Amino acid sequence: MDVEMAHAIEAAESEYLCSRVESLSRVSGNPFGARVFFNDAFPCFQVKASPSPMLNRIYGDSTGSPQSLLSLLKESAEYSTVTPLIGKASTLGPYAFAGEGRLERLRGWTHLQLACSIDDVVLNPHSFEIEEATSQTLPEFAAVHASGFHTKPEHLQLSQDSFAGLMSNERLKIYVLKSDGQVVAGALMYLATNGVAYLGTAATRKNARGLGFHAALIAHRIEQAKKYGSLLIAATALPSSQSRRNLQRAGLATSHAQALYRLADTRR
């Protein structure tokens, strides 16, 4: 594992997720209880209205300074906060230790982090209509995303508001793919400050899958990343997913695995 690259990918993903929480915190009155704070130099964030591990994370040095990490996990346990640990998939067991604290791995939240130098990507041609989301197409994208990720009805507004708040973020790009004039797929790209273009959330309507839309969105985002001067393309995918296979066809290779852990004595 290239440790420097792994840390760059993790920093880019953290920056991307942090931007989503920041956008929620700017909603008038902060109705979702979104908060961004720091553990030394590590950004952390939580959203009281959502139990999603995507939006409730504590970052820190689990080896050099485990106590501050453990303290924050304990203080925010009621909000289902987690911390990511990285390494080879075979080393990320069901339990881990940070100092004297015992952590347990969340089921279903062990992903591969993939990456590729911008000079080594493979651009697969397509003929689909892809454009940046506007205030008119954003609700359609949010609906596709909610359907693809099985968002609960009570979290629909939170999800849509998080995307709406990102429209003014110059580093975050939302792309939509249309078929017959309707949005059938969409994806995000975050241009991190360290030069990594992180290919974030992608979703396709269930009845439109298998038609090459996801691969087209990968190619389009890579083309855009080149224009913005990114140095590295990175993305996250489940090991057995079609997303991983599509990313690999675009030239991305596995960098490392990331698993999410929580304090072993907490329950969601």
Please check whether residues 228 and 128 belong to one and the same domain. Answer: yes
Quote the domain boundaries for residue 164. Answer: 117-256
Please check whether residues 103 and 229 belong to one and the same domain. Answer: no
Please check whether residues 133 and 246 belong to one and the same domain. Answer: yes
Distance from first CA to last CA of the chain, Å, rounded? 32
Q: What is the total count of domains within the chain?
A: 2
Please check whether residues 63 and 85 belong to one and the same domain. Answer: yes
Please check whether residues 100 and 130 belong to one and the same domain. Answer: no
Residues 6+ apart with CB under 8 A from 26: 165
Residue 135 lies in a domain: yes
Please check whether residues 183 and 223 belong to one and the same domain. Answer: yes
Residues 6+ apart with CB under 8 A from 153: none
What tens digit of pLDDT does each residue of 167-177 get?
A: 889 999 999 99
Residue 268 lies in a domain: no
Please check whether residues 167 and 249 belong to one and the same domain. Answer: yes
CATH number of the domain bearing residue 200:
3.40.630.30
Please check whether residues 73 and 160 belong to one and the same domain. Answer: no
Residue 36 lies in a domain: yes
Q: For residue 267, is pLDDT > 60?
A: no
What tens digit of pLDDT does each residue of 101-154 get?
A: 999 999 999 999 999 999 999 988 898 989 999 999 999 999 999 888 888 888
Please check whether residues 183 and 123 belong to one and the same domain. Answer: yes
Residues 6+ apart with CB under 8 A from 260: 53, 57, 82, 83, 84, 85, 105, 106, 109, 110
Q: Are strands 232-237 and 196-204 parallel, antiparallel or unpaired?
A: parallel
Q: Cβ atoms within 10 A of the Cβ of 71, count? A: 14
Please check whether residues 141 and 38 belong to one and the same domain. Answer: no
What tens digit of pLDDT does each residue of 1-54 get?
A: 899 999 999 999 999 999 999 999 999 999 999 999 999 999 999 999 998 999
Supply the pLDDT for residue 268.
Answer: 42
In this structure, are residues 54 and 63 in contact, taking their beta carbons and an 8 Å threshold? no
